A and B are shown apart, each in its own frame.
Chain A
Amino acid sequence: MLETILGWYTGFMLIFFFTINSYYLLLTVAGFWRTLRVFKEVRRPDQRRLLRSPLTPPVSVLAPAFNEEANVVENVRSLLMLDYPLFEVILVNDGSSDDTLRRLVDAFDLRRSARSFEPALATKPVRAIYESPSYPNLVVVDKLNGGKADALNAGLNLSLYPIFCAIDADSILEPDALLRLVRPFVDSPGVTIAAGGVVRVANGCDVRSGRVRKVHLPHRSLPLVQIVEYLRAFLFGRMGWSTGNSLLVISGAFGLFEKRAAILAGGYATDSVGEDMELVVRMHRYRREACQPYRIGFVPDPICWTEVPENLRVLRRQRTRWQRGLIDTLLRHRQMIGRPRYGAVGMISLPGFLMFEMISPLVELSGYLLLPVLWTLGLISASIAATFFCLATLYMVLISALAVLLEDLVFRRYPRTLDLGRLLIGAVLENFGFRQLTVWWRVRAFWEYWRGDLSWGVMERRGVGASAG
């Protein structure tokens, strides 16, 4: 009896592994075609004309900051230098316990302002608002700590413009990133309600004065593997999902939203650690239920650089938080899953995320545990176990290598041939230790979620400028 059950479960796992990898393959290929289409589409050579076009909407850039004293001044300077006709930078100091605020006040000659605002969204109390006579488009909000979502909501309350860009205070935007990301809003005003841009890994790059001067790969293997992962999952994966207007995640590190649509949907959820995904799903839901036409897009060429964890402790915190955010969002909006009323979101992307993002770590972990058990019980030969492992691993390597190839065909951000070789090595390495660890952390996230853990954890940053090499 046990043998039969184990046998059938093994068969199920084989099918599951094949399905999940095929799903990733399909997504990567769909993302590639979509990217090519966007690039071939009327990529007007005079993109810079948007700088003086009256159709280009003004944008409020919202940057929540918590204990960012090390880089905050340089990052705000870099934001103020964006190539964009009309924008304001609203930095929200979310109750930092370090010198974040003082450094900003000193560097930008900030003075307390009597600026009032419309409290469209409830937030933790704002202690003070600062403005600068030297930088009229900079506003610093000092508020009690309430988490990233609360800080973004406070920034939204203060924003003056119809479109807002949510970024992490430690991210580096390319100078024309905003101009490129706003394109869907210019082409379809009123219809486009959100657009995501590409987040790339800055570790190893040459960063000076808040700009990425040269793109290099990091020497350490942990961030290298994450680069491959970002290419596969965050670049082509999200591009693939955007094909049928079914994108569920716009990274909190770089996304553009219509302010009115976000406020109508209720703003960022302060009781979720996956506030970026949750808002996007809620915006889908709100628009679908109101039967209003809308579009949530993904643009492949505006680039935001971010630093990824370089040690396992920080990586674990990040990955468990992502998984908790995913579980939380899917459970909150479970009524949408499998409901035709929600279109491709309800019928394809939410079930896809449920199966292949939320539940898959459980199945994968059970697979890793089951193989040695079957072998010990003599139900499976070593060669079959190896076959099974090779099959799953090779399929994953194939998809990652494909993502590297597609990146090279379309973007070629890593210009040295040696870099390509290293990325390919990263695609292989990912499957030996990194993948298994992330699976374990994602399973642990279920336990943390069940315990009601809403903590973010602290991201320890080496500073991208310092991490070259």
Chain B
Amino acid sequence: MAPVFALEPLRLPVFGLAGAVISLAVFLLLQRSIVELRRRHSGRREPVLTRLLYEALQSTPVQPEPLLRLGRRDRKLVRSILLRLALDLRGDTGESISELYRLLGFLQRDLARLTSGLASIRARAAADLGLVRSPQAIPALLKALNDRDVRVRQASVWAVGQVGDPSVLRGLVGLLEDRNLLVAHRAQEVLADRGREVADAIVAFAGTSSSRSGRLAAIELIGWLRLTTAADLLLEFMDDIDPEVRVKSVKAAAAIGDPRFLQSFSGGLDDSSWAVRCQAAKGLSLYGSPDTVPGLNRALRDRHWWVRFYAATALAEAGPFGAEALQAALQDPEPPVRDMARYLLERAQLIPALP
């Protein structure tokens, strides 16, 4: 019987739990009421403050005076409006926003937040500094690239990409081989957007980097940015021993479409990696030349479905010569070849669809 009666003292926890539930409910309703009040205040003040902001931004030089006299809550609202505007407005207005942000003391505050003990605050500060694109923030952001916390580093990479001029952006190229893949990918993302300004650095990095992941990222960038200056390097990489390097190089070359690649694409159709063969077929579609048809015709009979698909797509896109080859493939003894040819001709609306 003893364990059963041992339940008796649990009456206190029951009341404790009931109290906790009631407190939670009260807290929930209270915090919602506070949020609602704040929201109403913002709704009331935002139009007034936005008008003040526009007046300040439109004057030359930027006039912060009326905004400097605002109370704490209004200043907080002004800051959030400025950050929203900064996201959408670039050019001269963007510069005015950045200047006003500085004159109102927000920049100094963000720079101080960038040294906070809390990583989430530092990351947020870096992101905000990136948004307002203030050149004065560059030294601090460059320092933050080496922060001990990966979130801060990621945010700083993004921010540097927003603020930095080409000389600063060059620093991001080296991060493509960063040991932390999140940082490396963020650098690649930024460079995919602004990499043309540092094209030479990217090409040089691809040629010299000893890191496989860094090199692969640089090759991808070369393709995305269509850096024709990297043609010789890509030709070299297309014979690399690493199949991943070959795939990415052929893909990048297919995006660039330099006449010098023709030979390599044709050779790529015999590569041991099916992914290389796919990309080589895609590359050959760029030329619209009868010389490419025999190779693509051969690839149309490849053992791998994806290579056949890419080859047929390439033939369909290669102009009249390709279409002729596909029409001829309709008579092929192999059903997969016939099906693929029929499908691509159908898609190109060169033959009617099935009933």
Contact = CB atoms under 8 A, between A and B. Distances in A.
A374 B1 CA distance: 11
B286 interface: no
Contacts of B342: 114
A102 interface: no
A293 B89 CA distance: 41
B189 A186 contact: yes
A217 B7 CA distance: 39
Contact of A11 (B3, B126, B188): B3
Nearest to B123: A42
A203 to B, nearest CB: 22
A116 B158 contact: no
B25 A55 contact: no
B35 to A, nearest CB: 8
Nearest to B17: A394
A113 B155 contact: no
B305 A118 contact: yes
A111 interface: yes
Interface in A48-107: 49, 53-55
A40 B1 CA distance: 53
A384 interface: yes
Contact of A188 (B13, B126, B181, B192): B181
User: Which secondary structure dominates chain B's binding surface?
Assistant: helix
B192 A53 contact: yes
Interface stretch (A168-176, A238-246, A298-306, A397-405): A397-405
Interface in A158-193: 186-189, 191
A388 interface: yes
How big is chain A's contact interface, by range?
35 or more
B24 A187 contact: no
Contact of B4 (A42, A43, A379): A379
Given A10-B7, A374-B4, A405 B28 contact: yes
A136 B189 CA distance: 28
Contacts, number: 143
How big is chain B's contact interface, by range?
35 or more
B32 A420 contact: yes
User: Which secondary structure dominates chain A's binding surface?
Assistant: helix
A354 interface: no
Contacts of B186: 187
A417 B39 CA distance: 13
A136 B51 CA distance: 46
Contacts of B28: 401, 404-405, 408, 420, 424
A289 interface: no
Contacts of A7: 1-4
A225 to B, nearest CB: 16
A111 B353 CA distance: 7
A387 B346 contact: no
B79 interface: no
B340 interface: yes
Given A41-B123, A45-B131, A131-B353, 14 more contacts: A6-B4, A14-B7, A14-B10, A42-B154, A45-B127, A114-B339, A114-B343, A116-B339, A116-B340, A380-B4, A384-B5, A394-B17, A398-B17, A401-B24
